[in-house]
Structure 1
Amino acid sequence: MKEKLARNINIYRKEKGLTQEELAQILGVSFQAVSKWENAQTMPDIALLPQLSRTLEVSIDKLLGYASQDRPITIYEEAYLTQDYYWGTEPNQACYQVLQRMPPTKPIKLLDIGCGEGKDAVFFARNGYEVTAFDVSDAGIEKTKRLADQIGVHVNVFKADILDYRLDQQFDVIFSSGVLHYIKPEFRQEIFDNYKQFTNPNGIHFLNVFVNKPFIAPPPEKEPNAYKWHSGELLAHYQDWFIQESSEIVFDCNSSGIPHKHAMTSLIAQKMTSLDH
């Protein structure tokens, strides 16, 4: 908890545009105290948490690393409440690339970031991967568990916000489809550094992200917590990895009942072992 609190104080302080000195002045503590909080050397006194929460405009639960319960982060929370699966139960085509490039001929630990209702996570589990998955939607988590139970497989699924959650265990495969636009631009470097750090040597990332194009109209879904990506931006985070595949496509979509188009960048990148010369 200390490390999560330290990271979150740092993140939300910067989001508010406050320096350590300014936050310390508001709270009536020394800037050294704030520095120690953010370096996980000490923790704030419990009596300071309400004022810290108000100052940073974030709930105490979220400061402590628990996913926010006070507002829907994704527009799909309500859509997932139905018995039917909004995205269906057929796996994303990218799942077959994972099977092809890193088949589970030995134990493979896979993380599905933003698993939605679980169709991809359950597909990986039924094919022999050790699957961990998270999503910010309560309804999505419950449907992931239900689908896994129906198929008879285990998925370690839990609720987390992509902005707050950081890895603390190693994975062989990190998979994410249609989720990375929820990462604010100022957090992307830190988050991808964390994902890369906790990937085993020769591990692979299978990722895609919607990119902004001036010749494509904005999607009809009004997502208040979505942030634009640009062509080449995802690739730039992997300059030190082996790029197995990088492509960009424009495709038709009817997810909202209104025909529209998306542009998407897809990336397959592998973490290679360094050679000392």
Structure 2
Amino acid sequence: MKNSERFWERGYSDPNVWTMGGPSVEVYEIEQQLPRNAMVVDLGCGEGRNALFLAFRGHAVTALEPSSSAVRKLRSVADEHSLNIDVIEGRIEDFVPDERYDLALAHSSLHFVTKDVWVPLINELRQRTNEGGFHNFTSIIGTSRYPVPYECRHANSFDRGDLDSLYADWQVLRSDFYAKWDSHPGIATHVHAVEKFLSRKAGPDGPLPFTKVDLSNSDALPGDLFEKIPLGIHVEDLRLLCNRPTTVNRIEMPGLNLTSPIELTRGYAVEEWFFGKHALQFTQGVLTGKYEYFTQPISLQTVPRASNRYEAGAHLGPQKTD
């Protein structure tokens, strides 16, 4: 794919926007269980939405990204805030891990390389991950109903179940599969099927660091209404179209967070509304994603433990409303 065809380059080259939004919910969940000053590698980090979130919490991040525009943006933000991020401009195919890690991330990046590239790389990262460390990957997987969109086309190197097999000797904490509707600068709302995978280097039968909270319910959102609800609508305006569901998962991320390269906030909130197999996700009160789940929707609520946490989390878990 040529640079001119990569839709994300329009946003990456704009110093005032985040092309892919803020930190992922599961990265917030993981951070609550990381040791102080954890070592993190983020492969295909984009503008650094997750790398910056982790660096603001005191962790040391190696961030790999092939886009020159994204690298310039991330370096500028990291330098401005004196963050511990080593930004490397380069391809996943050429990356050679040379550290011990507590967390390895690859969000929407490994599927751009072939299986003979990402499998050996993952196996090397598995060896270089500290006991109790985490691996977190999201990948687009085409289905008959939701084929890979043209603008997101890639190597099609992932099959559902590949990661579950590779990590059968670790604790698999998430193996979610869903269709996601989202949009980015320069591209209208589109839908693709996504696998979200999270594992921990520990025996499969050992104690888990999280409680898995079931977010499914018997509520329903009519299909025609789900399709019509536009991204970008404010949560208060949505109340005019449908009632708040019985299960709402609200995640409040304390501490410093960037909502764009030029907007710094001390509070960042994601709210997820669940209607049976469908979900709506609001970021700072604005609808940024719509979901159709093929697997059971869950959240991970951290199990308290004695540790030298950098900053305590504030995951509130699902809230039942009247």
Which TM-score applies when normalising by structure 2?
0.57
* 2:147 and 2:193 in contact (8 A); partners too: no
Segments of 5+ residues of structure 1 without an aligned counterpart are: 1-70
User: How many residues in Structure 1 have an aligned counterpart in Structure 2?
Assistant: 201
Structure 1's 74 and 163: CA in aligned 2 closer, same or farther, altered over 3 A? Answer: farther
**How far 1:130 moved relative to its partner?**
1.3
The offset of 1:79, in angstroms, is: 4.2
C-alpha separation in 1, matches of 2:146 and 2:188: 14
In structure 1, the partner of 2:12 is: 80
Change (3 A) 1:88 1:186: closer
Q: CA deviation at 1:74?
A: 8.2
**Aligned position for 2:103:** 173
Secondary structure of 1:214's counterpart equals: coil
1:237–1:142 distance in 2 versus 1, CA, 3 Å: same
Q: Residues 273 and 247 from structure 1, CA distance in 2 versus in 1: closer, same or farther, beyond 3 angstroms?
A: closer
Amino acid at match of 1:177: H
SS of structure 2 residue aligned to 1:117: coil
| Aligned residue runs from structure 1 range 80-159, under 5 A | 80-87=12-19, 90-100=22-32, 102-104=33-35, 106-159=36-89
Counterparts of 2:131 and 2:34, CA distance in 1: 16
Matching residue within 241, 248, 253 for 2:170: 241
Q: CA RMSD in A?
A: 2.4
Q: Which has the greater radius of gyration?
A: 1
C-alpha separation in 2, matches of 1:168 and 1:229? 25
Aligned to 2:298: none
Higher normalized contact order (CA 8 Å, seq sep 6+, divided by chain length) = 2
Greater share of residues in helix: 1
- Number of the residue aligned with 1:258: 188
User: How big is the shift at 1:140?
Assistant: 1.1
Kindly provide the amino acid, as one letter, of the partner of residue 186 in structure 1. Answer: D
* CA distance 1:78–1:88, change in 2 (3 Å): closer
TM-score if structure 1 supplies the norm length?
0.65
1:5-44 per-residue CA deviation (whole Å, 9 max, x = no partner) reads xxxxxxxxxxxxxxxxxxxxxxxxxxxxxxxxxxxxxxxx
One-letter amino acid of the structure 1 residue matched with residue 115 of structure 2: P
Structure 1 stretch displaced more, 133-142 or 180-189: 180-189
**Which is richer in strand?**
2
Q: Mark the runs of 5 or more structure 2 residues left unpaired by the alignment.
A: 205-322
Identity in percent: 24
Query: Which deviates further from its counterpart, 80-89 or 181-190?
Result: 80-89
- SS state of the match for residue 221, structure 1? helix
How far did 1:94 drift?
Answer: 2.5
Is the 8 Å Cα contact of residues 201 and 273 (structure 1) preserved in structure 2?
A: no
Give the whole-Å Cα distance in 2 for the aligned partners of 1:144 and 1:196: 27
Q: Residues 103, 202 of structure 1: CA spacing in aligned structure 2 closer, same or farther, 3 A cutoff?
A: closer
Matched to 2:202, the amino acid is M
The whole-number CA distance in structure 2 between the counterparts of 1:265 and 1:217 is: 13
The counterpart of 1:189, out of the listed 119, 127, 152, is: 119
Q: Evaluate the alpha carbon distance shift between residue 83 and residue 163 of structure 1 in structure 2; reply closer, same or farther with a 3 A threshold.
A: same
Aligned to 2:235: none
